[in-house]
Amino acid sequence: MKVVYESHQTIDVKLGKITVLATNNQIVYLELLRGMKDMNELIHFYDDDYKEVDHNKAMDWDGDVVADLSLEKTYSTEIIKYIDQSLTDEERRQLDQAGLEFYTAIQDKLLMVDIPLEVSFDGDIKRMMKYTQIHFPKEINNDPYGIIEADLKIHLECDDQSIIGLTNVAHYLTPDQVSHLVEINDHLQTKVLLVEFTESRNQDAYPNCDYYYIDEDFVDWGSN
């Protein structure tokens, strides 16, 4: 996938490779963040044949996953769809029976109330799964690396081919964790783009990553 920031060099985001787009220019950083959120017209995406790809299909901008602890909510629909599609006939039968028993218990309770009320059970397993409030355990929400690794695994399991867009990663991860993230991404073969604000071309902080830098004078520096 190719990411184009207007008037700058093309960023090539590859499967299994973490790509870093860094800058020390506040204007550039703001434009990049807004563009990744599809809030301006400065960022465009193209496939390997240079055909433009719709922003919603190309990029999953998860931003600062530590400051915004809502990753599981963002992907709840995809996760539920994945679980629903992977259920065996027996598992589906068991869940349907459990749902029926739950609704029956509610209906029995309503019969004890002097109000003409009833419940309706339509066997919609995906709707029932929404009520389970799927979320990360507390230890994951307290671990920046754990959150990011879970983000990559969600994309793998849900067969989501979009670029995973993150920012401020260097604020939270140690050099060893960055190296481990590179290894995990290579194993999972997901596409990751890190947009970072840094005062210098600190490429050493991102070993084995494709690294691009835009300096304070809007000059591009690329190193793969």
Residue 140 lies in a domain: no
How many helices (H) and strands (E) in the chain?
10, 10
Give me the CATH number covering residue 35. Answer: 3.40.50.11940
Contact between 20 and 192 under an 8 Å Cβ cutoff? The reply is no
Which residues pair with residue 166 across a beta bridge? 63, 194
> Torsion over CA of 147, 27, 13 and 179, rounded to 10 degrees?
-50
Q: With 50 as the cut, is the pLDDT of residue 224 above it?
A: no
108-127 average pLDDT score: 88
Hey, is 79 helix, strand or coil? helix
Residue 198 lies in a domain: yes
Contacts of 200 (CB under 8 A, 6+ apart): 24
Residue 112 lies in a domain: no
Residue 216 lies in a domain: yes
Residue 204 lies in a domain: yes
Residue 121 lies in a domain: no
Residue 153 lies in a domain: no
Name the domain count of the chain: 1
Predicted confidence (pLDDT) per residue in 146-177, tens digit: 999 999 999 999 999 999 999 999 889 998 99
| Tokens linked to 83 | 């679980």
Predicted confidence (pLDDT) per residue in 122-144, tens digit: 889 988 888 888 888 888 888 99
Letter for the amino acid at 136? F
| Tokens linked to 118 | 């009833």
Local structure of residue 81 (DSSP, 8 states): H
Range of the domain at 184: 2-70+159-223
Tell me the pTM.
Answer: 0.88
